[in-house]
Structure 1
């Protein structure tokens, strides 16, 4: 029997193949401008054209860019000005790699918005170390205690939220969140606690550690360790899950949406009052 005479077989043969070659996405992009005599020594990043890199960073599926340039940094600084020309939000991290970090072009790159300047010949290990420091600044990892308000605190070690916390935590608690503050929280009668899964706790910690500031999708993807290839609405979905988890405690309205920019944690402390924290990594970035 000839398979081409069978309707089902014929349909199977002629059916167009399902597209498998989707655009590959990476969390760190690598851009080489025309003046660069060489590329940076980092293979764990995605080489991409300058224009496409701008789109990817603005969409939020990548959080950092490595920019290689020669002594003429005009193309690099023009690109940085375009990237930074967007309203509000935590912007992507940018490392500029230049042939001479003492050259006036390095200062021009920093003024245009680069977060750091490295020598173009820097090793991959040095580049990764700098990205690690930048990542900690953009999305601090939970560490110790973080007090959001007089009656609200987070325990980074246990991944728990405490409501009706003491108003005056002891500032001398040792690392790991133990000591007077932690003991008081755990023994306080009537204190409500909420344990969160790691991804949602990282999301809450990142928002709370920078309360009042709008964080874009890049920072929140990074905090939750969401791969670049994930769906575009992954952050939106996670924020919805966090709000549902906070609703029984009446805290869901603290997570605010700034349309077209990102999300923020609304603080209720009086203006000008600093949020106290114990062993908080988010405040050790300077």
Structure 2
């Protein structure tokens, strides 16, 4: 499981946009080779990434992946270059290292007992995340669709934390892990619970047979995936929508067969209905 997560993060990070490189380093001060013309703004947080090679201890296969090395707070911005300071360092940084804007609150490190973790916050996150704030931990997942062969990415919730302390100077937080379904890893994402939903598609019911539904194919339709299907009822003021849990049984070339896990909703679903599908 750990190695699959590393491979996924490697694919996602390596395809990310490069927002700059380190041009010079003096003590904790860093010069960035991008400035105002590239959209760099004072006060934003950027992460330093380095490339390293790793070997799978089970297969012997070698991987090349990028790892976060440090966080940089941009302080002064000129037209074509910027300066900032190192706010947290995971490993020594070098001239030429890649810089990317920090767009999510990220797990920096986790205790061996999975009892607490340290997080690196975005410039927006440090404004609203306070002691007592409850956050959900998500992991980016990435698979190849068995039919369309397209790469599909989604967020899978792996745990929950409660913020214990926030250090504004270093844009970081210490969090207590309150629960987890899978071991929390470095670079997992931290988000408020209200951002948990990921809409997978807008689809139609093509056929109904017992507790089986036939739907047009939609992104995220993977065998055995358990999803939530929502049907809006605009003409009913007392019940605006109905929710039903479904499980993907089989993915065909143009359709998807699912099983209705909440049969009490069957009488509210009809052939031709337009529904939305979410993954929680």
Settle same-fold status: TM greater than 0.5. Answer: no
TM-score bin, normalised by smaller chain: under 0.3
**TM-score, normalized by length of structure 2?**
0.23
Where relative contact order (Cα < 8 A, 6+ residues apart) is larger, the structure is 1
Q: Which has the higher helix share?
A: 1
**TM-score, normalized by length of structure 1?**
0.23
